[in-house]
């Protein structure tokens, strides 16, 4: 199965919402599948083969991670809640439906909302 098709199959398995692309066909048929590009980034991989991981994380209200790093960079998708992310010296807040790129540098994540927050981490790391 081609890589792109494989990743698209992960969306319903994770319970991730599919957003409308605004096409006329989708507008005419509300039961038609649609897609929207959430993030695009050119990436230089550390090797020809990388270990990919898809991780779902839940943060209780007020929880803040210690300063940490991940095995590799990659896109992150906020399923619910409000998160403050400090990554590579930059601080930003993200809410449900937001996508951002984590650099792989030292970082923290804090749930700044009043309820649980959930995040999907897609990680591109070295093969061990």
Mean pLDDT per 10-residue run, the chain (128 residues)?
Answer: 44 46 58 88 84 94 95 92 96 97 94 97 86
Q: What is the pTM of this model?
A: 0.72
Which residues contact residue 63 at a Cβ distance below 8 angstroms, ignoring those fewer than 6 apart?
110, 111
94: CB partners within 8 A, 6+ apart: 76, 78, 82, 83, 85, 100
Spell out the domain ranges in the chain: 1-37, 39-126
What's the pLDDT at 13? Answer: 44
Q: Does the domain spanning 39-126 belong to CATH 2.60.120.10?
A: yes
Report the pLDDT value the prediction gives residue 125, as an integer from 0 to 100. Answer: 83
């Amino acid at each position: 199965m081609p890589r792109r098709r494989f990743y698209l199959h992960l969306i319903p398995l994770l319970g991730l919402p599919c957003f409308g692309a605004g096409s006329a066909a989708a507008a005419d048929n509300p039961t038609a599948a649609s897609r929207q590009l959430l993030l695009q980034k050119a990436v230089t991989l550390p090797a020809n083969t990388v270990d990919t991981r898809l991780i779902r994380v839940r943060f209780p209200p007020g929880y803040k991670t210690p300063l940490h790093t991940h095995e590799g960079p990659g896109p992150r998708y906020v399923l619910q809640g409000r998160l403050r992310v400090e990554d590579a010296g930059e601080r930003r807040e993200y809410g449900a439906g937001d996508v951002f790129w984590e650099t792989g540098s030292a970082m923290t994540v804090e749930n700044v909302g009043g309820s649980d927050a959930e995040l999907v981490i897609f990680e591109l790391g070295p093969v061990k």
